[in-house]
């Protein structure tokens, strides 16, 4: 079965107002209604036919049909011919369909309320857990004891009062682990010491540099310029060169 040029669909207002259908479900329901509104008739076309009408995939058409069946708006019948199986569909009586829709909507509403309540309680529980797990800054003695146990070698007082002055914040965020900041300070301290030991000459950099004033530098430039002027003048005289 394929769509022909003169095929059409009739969408009636009650399909939306009484059954709450819309979109592709409304289109597919109207198609099946058109084939099965007479007694003994039913829709035995393919999912591809429904997909072509709704400009969707066969999977999408299947999901829409399945939804209509679950809502009690259409009936599905499985037909076997030899080893082959195919399905036919027909609409449920209008009054029964409206009643089924009302029941379905009521279940969905109460389900939504139940889910909302459950999720809300869950969120409150999670928030309470987060609040209970809020990091408490260490006192001086506690942090000092941990520092000594780990045998760290950076300046403890510098570390402690640095973060205490910042209310144990790092940027705009609360520090989650003060022990982690200790590890970071210790690591940075070791890198600094290793760098110093591998480049010991750095401590003498600039010790023997003699700085000159602008006047001394200008005098030195003029003296060098005079030296080279005299040198080239002697060269010209020795070689008998005249002019520029």
Percentage of residues of the chain with pLDDT beyond 90: 17
- Looking at the 3D structure of the chain, how many domains does it have? 2
* pLDDT surpassing 60 at residue 57: yes
One domain, residues 86 and 172: no
Pairing of strands 84-91, 74-81: antiparallel
Q: Is residue 9 very low, low, confident or very high in pLDDT (cuts 50, 70, 90)?
A: confident
One domain, residues 94 and 188: no
State pLDDT tens for residues 175-226: 888 888 888 898 888 877 776 565 554 445 445 556 667 777 778 888 888 8
Which of these three, 134, 154, 172, is where a domain ends?
Answer: 134
225 located within any domain: no
Indicate the burial class of 159 (C-beta count within 10 angstroms; 0-12, 13-18, 19 or more). Answer: buried
Percentage of residues of the chain with pLDDT beyond 70: 75
Domain that holds residue 184: 140-204
One domain, residues 107 and 172: no
28 located within any domain: yes
Which of these three, 109, 134, 159, is where a domain ends?
Answer: 134
The string over 200-229, giving b where at least 16 C-beta atoms fall within 10 Å of a residue's C-beta and e elsewhere, is eeeeeeeeeeeeeeeeeeeeeeeeeeeeee
144 located within any domain: yes
38 located within any domain: yes
**Helix (H/G/I), strand (E/B), else coil: 91:** strand
Residue range 22-49: mean pLDDT, rounded: 85
- Which pTM does this prediction carry? 0.43
One domain, residues 120 and 13: yes
């Amino acid at each position: 079965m394929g769509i022909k040029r003169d095929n059409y669909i009739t969408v009636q207002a009650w399909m939306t107002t009484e059954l709450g259908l819309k979109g592709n479900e409304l289109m597919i329901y109207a198609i099946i209604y058109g084939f099965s509104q007479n007694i003994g008739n039913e829709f035995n076309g393919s999912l591809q036919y429904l997909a072509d009408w709704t400009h969707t995939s066969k999977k999408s058409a299947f999901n829409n049909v399945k939804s209509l069946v679950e809502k009690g708006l259409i009936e599905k019948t499985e037909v076997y011919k030899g080893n082959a199986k195919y399905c036919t569909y027909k609409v449920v009586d209008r009054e029964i369909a409206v009643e089924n829709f009302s029941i379905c909507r009521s279940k969905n509403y109460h389900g939504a309320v139940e889910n909302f309540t459950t999720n809300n309680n869950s969120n409150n529980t999670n928030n309470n857990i987060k609040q209970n797990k809020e990091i408490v800054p260490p006192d001086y003695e506690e942090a000092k004891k941990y520092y000594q146990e780990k045998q760290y070698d950076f300046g403890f007082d510098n570390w402690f009062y640095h973060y205490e002055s910042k209310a144990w914040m790092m940027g705009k965020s609360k520090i989650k682990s003060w022990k982690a900041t200790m590890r970071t300070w210790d690591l940075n301290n070791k890198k600094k010491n290793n760098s110093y030991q591998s480049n010991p000459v750095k401590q003498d950099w600039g010790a023997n540099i003699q700085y000159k004033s602008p006047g001394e530098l200008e005098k030195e430039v003029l003296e060098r310029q005079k030296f080279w002027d005299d040198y080239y003048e002697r060269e010209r005289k020795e070689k008998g060169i005249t002019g520029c």
